[in-house]
């Protein structure tokens, strides 16, 4: 591993964290407390990549997040195959010790390793890429992640072929890895990305169309506020329309900076009210693209905004 300190894994052992339900007695029956306790928040780790894994997890936990979303390229020099079984166990132990869990992986094909591409007409490169994707699935499963967020714009854009041909390769590649993902308890979530980032799958409608083309329970979609530039409907309408297919949410300011640097409180209030009304109980994960504030500041200031928005919900 590069940025993630191997010695940190060896020295720190995790303590199992047991979560409990809140119960109340009613007519001698035990029932769960139905009051809303807020959304489940996670944080993507790449803004903290220069820190040890234990420190990353402490920052995430201390700021109030319950999960961490991992960009695998931040942990390796050549690829996830270099992370041993024992080191994977230590990754899990450190998370448990911090009282958080793994949400899954994102930036799946960002280098290292180099030379991966999911929608190229070069069959050999596609085969190499799906082979590595299988390794990512095992890594995700080994560290307890339920989701793999398929963004990776540079590794899925067209390479001298029409968009429809690239989408065909996209679907074929997903179909090849879908059974493996299901066996490991992992869902691959197609991320809609803006046209400024890629020319393949720019809207939720296109993401859902691709998922339906593959037609496998392990292939689903997610929602990212930042990636809605090519949509024509407001956030709340999109969330209602695609809700039953959305398994994950990414949040940040619309310019990609951390929450609190812009107008997120007003921008997202109606959308998060919609998610609450729909009883959304999956993850909302903070993903930012400007790391200049440092991981601790990004985590804390963003959580304050998330709680500020929650305080306005009815």
Q: Which pair of tokens denotes residue 234?
A: 């407001």
DSSP labels, the chain? --SS-HHHHHH-----------EEEETTEEEE--S----EEEEESGGGTTS-HHHHHHHHHHTT-SEEEEEGGGG-SS-GGGS-HHHHHHHHHHHHHHT-EEEEEESTTSSSSPS--SS-S-HHHHHHHHHHHHHHHHHHHHTT--EEEE--GGGTS-SSS-HHHHHHHHHHHHHHHHHHHHHTT-EEEEPP--TTT-SS--SHHHHHHHHHHHT-TTEEEEEEGGG-TT-SS-HHHHHHHHGGGEEEEEE--TTSSPTTSSSHHHHSHHHHHHHHHTT--SEEEE--S--TT-HHHHHHHHHHHHHHHHHH--
Domain of residue 74 covers 6-312
pLDDT-based confidence at 230, cuts 50/70/90? very high
128-142 per-position pLDDT tens digit:
999 999 999 999 999
Whether 206 maps to a domain, the answer reads: yes
Whether 153 maps to a domain, the answer reads: yes
Q: Which pair of tokens denotes residue 226?
A: 């930042």
What is the CB-side half-sphere exposure of residue 141 using CA atoms within 13 A?
15
Cα torsion 82, 54, 284, 142 to 10°: value is 40
Whether 1 maps to a domain, the answer reads: no
Backbone angles phi and psi of 312, in degrees to 5: -95, -10
Whether 147 maps to a domain, the answer reads: yes
Q: Is the pLDDT of residue 205 over 70?
A: yes
Q: Is the pLDDT of residue 220 over 50?
A: yes
Whether 143 maps to a domain, the answer reads: yes
pLDDT-based confidence at 29, cuts 50/70/90? very low
88-97 per-position pLDDT tens digit:
999 999 999 9
User: What's the CATH code of the domain at 175?
Assistant: 3.20.20.150
CA 18 – CA 309 distance, rounded (Å): 29
Whether 305 maps to a domain, the answer reads: yes
Whether 172 maps to a domain, the answer reads: yes
pLDDT-based confidence at 304, cuts 50/70/90? very high
pLDDT of residue 11: 36
Give the count of domains, the chain.
1
pLDDT of residue 229: 94
Closest CA to 181 of 236, 138, 129, 235: 138
Mean pLDDT, the chain, as a whole number?
Answer: 91
3-7, 49-53, 127-131: least confident range? 3-7
CA 163 – CA 157 distance, rounded (Å): 8
Q: Is the pLDDT of residue 7 over 90?
A: no
% of residues, the chain, pLDDT over 90: 88
Whether 63 maps to a domain, the answer reads: yes
């Amino acid at each position: 591993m590069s940025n993630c300190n191997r010695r940190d894994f060896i020295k720190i052992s995790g303590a199992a964290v047991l979560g409990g339900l809140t119960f109340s007695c009613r007519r001698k029956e035990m029932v769960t407390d139905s009051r809303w306790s807020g959304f489940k928040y996670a944080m993507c780790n790449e803004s903290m990549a220069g820190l040890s894994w234990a420190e990353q997890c402490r920052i995430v936990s201390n700021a109030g997040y319950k999960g961490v979303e991992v960009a695998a390229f931040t942990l390796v020099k050549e690829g996830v195959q270099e992370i041993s079984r024992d080191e994977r166990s230590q990754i899990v132990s450190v998370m448990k010790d911090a009282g958080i869990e793994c949400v899954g992986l994102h930036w799946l094909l960002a280098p290292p390793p180099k030379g991966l591409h999911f929608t190229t007409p070069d069959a050999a490169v596609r085969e190499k890429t799906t082979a590595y994707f299988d390794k990512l699935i095992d890594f995700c499963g080994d560290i307890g992640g339920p989701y793999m967020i398929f963004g990776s714009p540079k590794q899925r854009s067209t390479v001298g072929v029409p968009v429809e041909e690239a989408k065909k390769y996209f679907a074929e590649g997903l179909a090849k890895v879908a059974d493996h993902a299901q066996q490991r308890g992992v869902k691959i979530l197609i991320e809609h990305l803006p046209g400024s980032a890629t020319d393949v799958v720019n809207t939720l409608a296109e993401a859902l169309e691709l998922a339906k083309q593959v037609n496998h329970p392990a292939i689903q979609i997610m929602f990212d506020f930042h990636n809605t530039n090519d949509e024509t409907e407001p956030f709340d309408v999109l969330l209602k329309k695609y809700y039953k297919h959305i398994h994950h949410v990414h949040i940040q300011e619309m310019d990609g900076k951390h929450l609190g640097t812009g107008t997120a409180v007003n921008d997202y209030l109606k959308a998060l009210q919609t998610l609450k009304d729909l009883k959304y109980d999956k993850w909302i994960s903070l993903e930012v693209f400007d790391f200049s504030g440092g991981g601790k500041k990004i985590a804390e200031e963003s959580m304050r905004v998330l709680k500020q928005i929650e305080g306005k919900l009815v």
